[in-house]
Amino acid sequence: MDRDAGMSDSDQTRIAQQFIEAIPHARALGMRVDALGAGMATISMPWAEHLVGDPRSGVVHGGVVSALMDTCCGAAVMAHPEGPASTATIDLRIDYMRSATKGQRITARAECYHITRTVAFVRAVALDQDEDRPVAAATGAFTVER
Amino acid sequence: MAMDRREPLDQIKSRRDSALSALVSGVPYLAWLGIRFDRRGDELTAILPYDEKLIGNPLLPALHGGVTAAFLETTAIIELAWTAMWEDMESGRAVPDAAVAIAPPRLPKTIDFTVDYLRSGLPRDAYARARVVRSGRRYASVQVEAWQDNRSRLLAQATGHFLMPQG
């Protein structure tokens, strides 16, 4: 994703959505780019029956949250003003603070808070409709391919 | 109940297989990803058959990092639940009857999970095995490794902490 200073935020978001839709797994999970800024990304996805990890509660599997967080963190790295040509996850830690509520959309917000020539550092949160109580938090390191 | 040396082998296998199936088959997300488990005695190997929807980078192509994380986390949770179940089953505290459908057991909850991505995932099948490093009454620590063609060339490894189901 090349960044061009002449583009508006909505152009950026539209291009990011096309970028997301080119990723088969992101498409399979129904991910949507809600916002994109300098080193920031917000991506959400709907709850679905086939993503349930605990049939007793109907809560989505932690792996689904991981996939959303990973995609959102990668998008934040790509959206950084020193934007790399591409990126890959080096490591990602996720803290699960509570279960996401059954039936609610899950939204990830990621921020690339530091970037060097070779590594990007990212943190993110995952939220459902109760935005005051995060579902999960993530920190990760990503490669910077020039 | 002590172990019965003369128990028919097919009965033993059917008991263990139905216990594993009760654990795995009730989880919709595992079926959606296509994850299944191969059992040799008490040792489990998770298998993630390749599918186009698992791709995260269509240009390389490479598996999605989230898929790798999900595969590792699932393997850790099932191994942990299986280990607890195995002890109950083999000591005779719980005797699952192959003819009776077993209610899905309560699964451990993930507290935190850290994945090291060591190689980009090829568009091929992936395998994983987990090891319960420490399992207490409330908390457990699990280490898990995933690979593709070569067991010694890891795709990713992870460590996670889990809250054991109570009661």
Is B78 contained in some domain?
Answer: yes
Residue A60 pLDDT exceeds 90:
yes
Instruction: Return the residue of A nearest to B117 by Cα.
Output: A90
Phi, psi at A139, each rounded to 5°: -130, 140
In this prediction, residue A1 carries a pLDDT of 39
Token pair 């898990």 is at which residue? B144
Question: Could you count the other beta carbons within 10 Å of the beta carbon of residue A82?
Answer: 15
The complex's ipTM works out to 0.90
CATH number assigned to the domain comprising residue B114: 3.10.129.10
In this prediction, residue B97 carries a pLDDT of 55
Is B1 contained in some domain?
Answer: no
What lies within 8 Å, CB to CB, of A11 at 6+ separation is none
Chain B contact present for A2, CB below 8 A = no
Residue B102 pLDDT exceeds 70:
no
Instruction: Give the domain extent around B150.
Output: 9-163
Chain A contact present for B85, CB below 8 A = no
Mean pLDDT of all residues in A24-44: 96
Question: Could you count the other beta carbons within 10 Å of the beta carbon of residue A140?
Answer: 27
Residue A11 pLDDT exceeds 80:
no
- Taking each helix axis as running N to C, give the angle between helix B65-91 and helix B9-24, from 0 to 180 degrees, rounded to the nearest 10: 140
Beta bridge partner(s), residue A112: A122
Domain A9-143: which CATH class?
A: alpha beta
In this prediction, residue A15 carries a pLDDT of 77
Interchain contact, B70 vs A61, CB within 8 Å: yes
Confidence category of residue B94, pLDDT binned at 50, 70, 90: low
Confidence category of residue A20, pLDDT binned at 50, 70, 90: confident
H helical segments located in B25-132:
28-33, 65-91
In this prediction, residue A124 carries a pLDDT of 98
Residue A80: strand, helix, or coil: coil
Tally the domains of chain B: 1
Confidence category of residue B30, pLDDT binned at 50, 70, 90: very high
Contact list, A93 vs chain B (CB under 8 Å): 112-115
Is B34 contained in some domain?
Answer: yes
Residue of B106, B112, B117 lying closest to A94 (CB–CB): B112
Chain B contact present for A73, CB below 8 A = no
CA-angle at A102, arms to A93 and A18, nearest 5°? 65
